[in-house]
Amino acid sequence: TMANLQLRFLSVSLFTSIVGEAQYVMQDAALMHYMDRRFQSLENRLEKCNQDIMDYVEEFRDFSKRIISRLERLNVYKTEFKNEVEHLLTRVERAQRDIDYFASGKDSDACVEVDEDLVEQQQIEEAEERRKIKLLLNASCDNMLTGIKSLKIVKKTGDVHGSWMKDPGKKHPKIYFLNRSKNNVILEFANIRAFMESSNMLAARRVVLPTYWQGTGHVIYKDFLFYHRYGSLNEIIKYNIHKRNITDRMLLPGAGQMPAYQLFPTTKIDLAIDEQGLWAIHAEPDIGGNLVITKINHHTMAVEYTWDTSCNSKNAEAAFMVCKTLYVVYNTPSGGTSRIECVYNVLDALNTYEVPLLHFPKRYGSHSVMHYNPREKEVFAWGDGSQIIYKLQTSQKV
């Protein structure tokens, strides 16, 4: 019938319309899916590009750091080489003087008068040199060590080896605690009572150094820490404790080739303070392992004078300076009674035989360090993990 035909026609038209719409929807979905995949691929590529750029930047930073580090080491090597050359020239000059002196005795009688004039001139120059040194070192300081009066074990804390001290260049009573022979953390206590009563080290003010120290031969003087930098042959760092930065550095000619003291091999350079200021003590294989003492200007970090001593580093465990005089402490490898057996005065005003053999009292063991405090007239020592104070007895040189 006509009605059925119309109904079928409408059904076919509706079906065709629905199928067409579905095709369009499927095409749009496929297009959206394609675009989504393309955008995802683009994002992945951009992310990889950013990561590659970050990797390149990091690699460039590492490369720059390595270059800067190598340039710094190159400058250190350059300074070391320059100082070694100057040190060698000084020794050559000394040797030449000795050669000239001994050669003068072998010349003919005709040359005797000339040689005597040269010797006299040399003696005048040496006397003038001693006069300059006396002026530099304030010759009014003429005390000599005659005994160790007493011992006080203040505390037993920290590692077997270490160093502790006051600042003899300041009036404040602060105590500085430097644990171990390789470290970069200073603990500062308000006074010795706070140090003794502190059950833990958290109460102390911590000062973290930018580099590690080597050995136990460091000193604090006029708010500056002077220490041998770990990993260097003979570099001494000057560090401002309050501002927390390195203010200067120097290379000590001839030092670092062997331990300053045979019984404590980690210390290659032992720094010391006395009434005259800053000193350095080290041993050199070129002179049979004898100790060398150097006067350092603590302001400019320049070497003022150097003396080769007659004191040997064999069986030595520590040393300290008192009034321009080096006192070397000896012991046995297994630990025993520490004793002073060698003395050297830079002005030749004192000989070892003039000083009695001095023993440190009431304990057996060994010391990692001994540092004289000219303000307190005491020696701050570290012995087998104990922090010790020795009171000294002095008298005026005759």
How many C-beta neighbours within 10 Å does residue 231 have? 10
Task: Please give the pLDDT value at position 135.
Answer: 59
* Type of residue numbered 168: P
Task: Please give the pLDDT value at position 9.
Answer: 67
Q: Which pairs from 377-384 meet CB under 8 Å and 24+ separation?
A: 379/148, 379/320, 380/164, 380/165, 380/166, 381/318, 382/161, 382/162, 382/163, 382/164, 382/216, 384/160, 384/335
Helix-helix angle 112-137:2-104, to 10 degrees: 130
Q: Residue 375 phi/psi, 5° resolution?
A: -75, -40
Least confident of 39-53, 246-260, 346-360: 346-360
Of residues 56 and 348, more confidence is placed in: 56
Of residues 274 and 95, more confidence is placed in: 274
Q: What is the mean pLDDT of residues 357-375?
A: 88
**Average pLDDT score over the chain:** 84
Least confident of 39-48, 157-166, 354-363: 354-363
Least confident of 198-207, 299-308, 347-356: 347-356
Least confident of 56-65, 249-258, 365-374: 56-65
Task: Please give the pLDDT value at position 190.
Answer: 93
Least confident of 11-25, 122-136, 179-193, 383-397: 122-136
In the structure, what pLDDT confidence band is assigned to residue 54 with cuts at 50, 70 and 90? Answer: confident
> 328: Cβ–Cβ under 8 A, 6 or more apart, which residues?
291, 311, 316, 318, 319, 340, 341, 342, 343, 344
Task: Please give the pLDDT value at position 110.
Answer: 42
Residue 36 has pLDDT above 70, yes or no: yes
Q: What is the mean pLDDT of residues 94-115?
A: 51
Task: Please give the pLDDT value at position 262.
Answer: 96
Task: Please give the pLDDT value at position 119.
Answer: 66
33-48 in b/e burial notation, b at 16+ Cβ within 10 A? eeeeeeeeeeeeeeee
Integer Cα distance of 320 and 324 in angstroms = 10
Residue 350 has pLDDT above 70, yes or no: no
Residue 17 has pLDDT above 80, yes or no: no
Integer Cα distance of 195 and 350 in angstroms = 38
Q: What is the mean pLDDT of residues 200-227?
A: 93
Least confident of 72-76, 163-167, 235-239, 380-384: 72-76
Task: Please give the pLDDT value at position 128.
Answer: 62
Q: What is the mean pLDDT of residues 289-310?
A: 95
Q: What is the mean pLDDT of residues 186-191?
A: 95
Q: What is the mean pLDDT of residues 321-346?
A: 92
